[in-house]
Amino acid sequence: MKYRTVFDIIGPVMIGPSSSHTAGAARIGRTARTVFGRVPKEIIITLYGSFAKTYRGHGTDIALVGGILDFDTYDERMPLSLQMAKKAGIDVRFVESEEIADHPNTARIHLSDDQGKLEVVGISIGGGKIEIVELNGFELKLSGNSPTLLVLHKDQFGAVADVATILAKHEINIGYMQVARKEKGLEALMSIETDQSVTPELLKEIRQKSGMYSVTVLNN
Amino acid sequence: MNFRSVAELVELAETEGLKISEVMIRQEVEVMNRSREEIWEEMGRNLDVMGQAIERGLSQDGRSASGLSGGDAKRIQTYKETAPVLLSGETVLDAVASATAVSEVNAMMGIIVATPTAGACGILPGTIFTTAKKFQLDRDAMIAGLFVSGAIGYCIANNACISGATGGCQAEVGSATAMAAAAVVEMAGGTPSQAAEAVAIALKNMLGLVCDPIAGLVEAPCVKRNAMGAAIAMVAADLALAGVKSIIPTDEVISAMYKIGQDMPVALRETALGGLAATPTGKALERQIFQNTKEDE
């Protein structure tokens, strides 16, 4: 089931005018921001399909940047996000792609600063609901229906065991797990769907383990 | 307490002797592992946002940034209060005025609740507040109405789609109209199966509706489609309460909507490349609006 809660249908409370092109866009931006963990210096957003064709009219650009500034869908500062980003010295660029993406409402967000960079591809599937389909080049196959732990880490022995042990200690069951890396010893990604909600303390515990770059939970 | 289709929802309600709203609440408690109070309160907050949007929309004269929408809700309201004879009646016009109000607030980047989408955000507030007024029902009855709508929307979203980019306007305004019709039936004292019939009747009259917004903006024809969606929802509820039944079962109407959406050309699915958006006037307005935004920058 793509939509799990009644509030996916009756909600979100949001700044208009479009749930997919404004609220969904804000959520994609905010997810990218959450994974990145801080305000970026540079934002490059590539828009595909209907996003590329109609983003100006729907305020998709405003909402994506608002999300990256950590605004929720109903934040009244939303209409001012582009100006606020500019004022904060953030370099924002939009690219309209002619390429056909799998979903008509697709955005690729590139965030960077002196400390690092992140690339997230999100799709807005309707009614404000989103899916993250790619993270730093790793393809994600998430149901979007369970709390999902995304752990970017150094590819080294013991990383998976560390995370699994902490989850077990907190009595959290793993429903689905995907482990991927690009090259031996470099960046790797664990995506873990859990049956129970994940607490901030648990995230903190994982972050303290060696080789953890970024620890985020979605749909919690 | 788990349902995936409208048929399952109705069966659960009728075998357990529950209202549709109650089945939805129990499922939400179970699946999301949240307390009933918490869920009820969150839905109440959504209802309050809707009420505020109605008030704001009915009292404002302004136009949206593009100039394509604004002021019609107040116009309809004034007409309703002053015209010697109302052709479609006070209740329908009440729903239409409120639906227009919320939809206009949305176009002005105001705060609304997506039900199921922002493009269709006027229909539920319009019909639910009007029905409550008509039957003198309290706030709790309206919150329950939102759970009924949520249950129907949940079935549509999971078995078909609710986005204009995927299924056209029938997936947005069509779904909202069907969801609203079911809520009105329960609020009016109808049975779960009557609510399901109202869903089928309402949605059948939205099949094939394309998403062709002028300049890609959620304004024209969206605001007027919200107005008419509210009217169709009220009449569909009346038909179902009268005992009219759909020849095609509700879940099959929903899957027909999905298939029609898949067959719809991309130009008619929220790309602003076809339909009303591609008319000479639609094109001229688009040029005019985007020229203005460029000058603003």
Q: For A68-111, how does the pLDDT look when each residue is reduced to its tens digit (9 = 90+)?
A: 999 999 999 999 999 999 999 999 999 999 998 888 899 999 99
Q: Minimal Cα–Cα distance from A180 to chain B, Å?
A: 29
Q: What phi and psi, each to the nearest 5 degrees, are found at residue B209?
A: -65, 125
Token reading at B119: 């493009």
| Cβ contact, residue pair B147, A14, below 8 Å | no
Chain B residues inside the 8 Å CB shell of A197: 33
Residue at a domain's end among A135, A169, A202? A135
| Cβ contact, residue pair A16, B153, below 8 Å | no
**DSSP E strands, B15-115:** 111-113
| Cβ contact, residue pair B111, A19, below 8 Å | no
A199 in the same domain as A95: no
Q: Is B208 exposed, middle or buried (0-12, 13-18, 19+ CB in 10 A)?
A: middle
| Cβ contact, residue pair B165, A105, below 8 Å | yes
Chain B residues inside the 8 Å CB shell of A61: none
Mutate: best of A8, A19, A143, A146, partner B, most B CBs <10 A: A19
- Residue A4 — very low, low, confident or very high, per pLDDT cuts 50/70/90? confident
| pTM greater than 0.90 | no
A207 in the same domain as A130: no
Q: CA-CA distance, B143 to B66, in Å (whole number)?
A: 34
| Cβ contact, residue pair A17, B109, below 8 Å | yes
A90 in the same domain as A21: yes
Q: CA-CA distance, B240 to B250, in Å (whole number)?
A: 12
Does the pLDDT of residue B294 top 60, yes or no? no
Question: Which tops the pLDDT comparison, B65 or A42?
Answer: A42
- Per the structure, the complete domain to which residue A189 belongs is given by 148-218
Mutate: best of B28, B143, B218, partner A, most A CBs <10 A: B218
Does the pLDDT of residue B264 top 50, yes or no? yes
Q: What phi and psi, each to the nearest 5 degrees, are found at residue A106?
A: -120, 140
A86 in the same domain as A35: yes
Q: pLDDT per residue over B79-128, tens digit each? A: 999 999 999 999 999 999 999 999 999 999 999 999 999 999 999 999 99
Determine the pLDDT at residue B46.
98
Determine the pLDDT at residue A1.
75
Mutate: best of B69, B100, B111, B142, partner A, most A CBs <10 A: B111
Instruction: Give the β-pairing of A105-113 and B111-113.
Output: unpaired
- Residue B293 — very low, low, confident or very high, per pLDDT cuts 50/70/90? low
Residue at a domain's end among A135, A166, A199? A135
The contacts of residue B287 (CB under 8 Å, 6+ apart) are none
List A49's β-bridge partners, or say none: A105
| Cβ contact, residue pair B150, A10, below 8 Å | yes
| Cβ contact, residue pair B118, A18, below 8 Å | yes
Question: Which tops the pLDDT comparison, B70 or A146?
Answer: B70
Domain contains A143: no
Determine the pLDDT at residue A105.
92
Q: What is the CATH number of the domain that holds A67?
A: 3.30.1330.90
Cα B55 to its chain centre, rounded Å, is 18
| Cβ contact, residue pair A7, B42, below 8 Å | yes
Range from A204-208, B63-67, B261-265 carrying the lowest mean pLDDT = B63-67
Does the pLDDT of residue A18 top 50, yes or no? yes
A131 in the same domain as A88: yes
Nearest to B102 by CA among B50, B145, B171: B50
Domain contains A1: no
Q: Is B162 exposed, middle or buried (0-12, 13-18, 19+ CB in 10 A)?
A: buried
A198 in the same domain as A126: no
Find the residue in B nearest to A146 (Cα).
B32
Q: CA-CA distance, B268 to B278, in Å (whole number)?
A: 10
| Cβ contact, residue pair A17, B39, below 8 Å | no
The total domain count for chain A is 2
CATH of B6-296, one of 1.10.4100, 3.40.50, 1.10.10, 2.40.160: 1.10.4100
Residues of chain A contacting B, Cβ within 8 Å: 1-20, 22-23, 49-50, 53-54, 56-59, 74, 76, 78-79, 104-105, 124-128, 197
Chain B residues inside the 8 Å CB shell of A127: 114, 116-117, 157, 162-163
Chain B residues inside the 8 Å CB shell of A125: 163, 166
A56 in the same domain as A14: yes
A116 in the same domain as A166: no
Domain contains A10: yes
Mutate: best of A4, A18, A60, A71, partner B, most B CBs <10 A: A18
Q: Minimal Cα–Cα distance from A3 to chain B, Å?
A: 6
Chain B residues inside the 8 Å CB shell of A15: 109-111
Domain contains A39: yes
Determine the pLDDT at residue A141.
82
Q: CA-CA distance, A210 to B14, in Å (whole number)?
A: 56
- Mean pLDDT across A165-169: 96
Domain contains A140: no
Using the CB atoms, write b or e for A164-195: b if 16+ within 10 Å. Answer: eebbeeeebeeeeeeebeeeeeebbbbbbbbe
Domain contains A142: no
Q: Minimal Cα–Cα distance from B86 to chain A, Å?
A: 31
- Mean pLDDT across A130-154: 90
A69 in the same domain as A128: yes
Q: Is B30 exposed, middle or buried (0-12, 13-18, 19+ CB in 10 A)?
A: exposed
Q: pLDDT per residue over B200-239, tens digit each? A: 999 999 999 999 999 989 999 999 999 999 999 999 999 9
| Cβ contact, residue pair A17, B105, below 8 Å | no
A117 in the same domain as A63: yes
Q: Is the ipTM of this complex over 0.90?
A: yes
Chain A residues inside the 8 Å CB shell of B28: 5-6
- What is the DSSP annotation of B203-233? HHTTTT--B--GGG-SSTTHHHHHHHHHHHH
Find the residue in A nearest to B68 (Cα).
A57
Domain contains A141: no
User: What is the residue extent of each domain of chain B?
Assistant: 6-296
Q: Minimal Cα–Cα distance from A59 to chain B, Å?
A: 9
Determine the pLDDT at residue B292.
59
A120 in the same domain as A21: yes
Q: What is the CATH number of the domain that holds A208?
A: 3.30.70.260
Q: Minimal Cα–Cα distance from A192 to chain B, Å?
A: 18
| Cβ contact, residue pair A2, B157, below 8 Å | yes
- Residue A219 — very low, low, confident or very high, per pLDDT cuts 50/70/90? confident
A184 in the same domain as A99: no
Question: Which tops the pLDDT comparison, A11 or B296?
Answer: A11
Does the pLDDT of residue B58 top 60, yes or no? yes
